[in-house]
């Protein structure tokens, strides 16, 4: 088997049960629709939100983030290169938690005026934490049997068997 097929086989392999489709649909849909909204509502959910949060070069980073959320969300929904798509979304959620949510602890979060302390942090972080956990889960187990990854993995299987039998 070629190095390309080996890499692709590792990327598309999955140990997940069919029920993982529920996690894929939730995580993928949230990323996909949030990415679209960064372009539909730039003042409140895109560049304006990034600027208010104090993210430098918000005019660059908000659209880039939106494109990544749309592309990775669609890939996760389809179960195509799910593990690969989960990686930038894990980074995305860690950034969102560190930049926009963690300052809630000491009452210094620009996006959450009047919010302060542990309970406000946990409340405002619930979706970000769910997305982070879902993305980490998909990175670990893969897309499951009802995915394009599984179809690709099955199409690579005969070449793997032939290569091993030589």
pLDDT digit string, tens, across residues 75-134: 999 999 999 999 999 999 999 999 999 999 999 999 999 999 999 999 999 999 999 999
Residue 9: per-residue pLDDT: 76
- Helix, strand or coil, per DSSP, at residue 118: helix
Banded pLDDT at 20 (limits 50, 70, 90): very high
- Does the pLDDT value for residue 166 go beyond 70? no
CA distances (Å), origin 75, targets 2, 28, 72, 128: 25, 7, 5, 19
**Contact indicator for 8, 42 with CB cutoff of 8 Å:** no
CA 31 to chain centre: 6
Q: Which of 135, 126, 151, 127 is nearest to 20 (CA)?
A: 135
Tell me how many helices (H) and strands (E) the chain has: 8, 0
């Amino acid at each position: 088997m070629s190095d390309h097929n080996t890499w692709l086989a590792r990327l598309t392999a999955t140990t997940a049960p069919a029920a993982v489709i529920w996690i894929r649909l939730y995580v993928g849909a949230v990323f996909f629709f949030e990415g679209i909204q960064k372009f539909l509502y730039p003042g409140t959910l895109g560049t304006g939100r990034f600027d208010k949060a104090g993210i430098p070069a918000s005019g660059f980073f908000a659209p880039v983030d939106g494109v990544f959320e749309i592309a990775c969300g669609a890939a996760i929904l389809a179960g195509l290169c799910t593990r690969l798509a989960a990686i930038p979304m894990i980074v995305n959620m860690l950034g969102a938690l560190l930049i926009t949510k963690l300052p809630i602890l000491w009452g210094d979060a620009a996006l959450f005026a009047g919010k302060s302390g542990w309970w406000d942090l946990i409340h405002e972080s619930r979706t970000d934490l769910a997305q982070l956990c879902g993305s980490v889960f998909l990175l670990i187990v893969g897309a499951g049997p009802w995915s394009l990854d599984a179809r690709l993995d099955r199409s690579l299987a005969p070449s793997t068997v032939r290569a091993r039998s030589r």
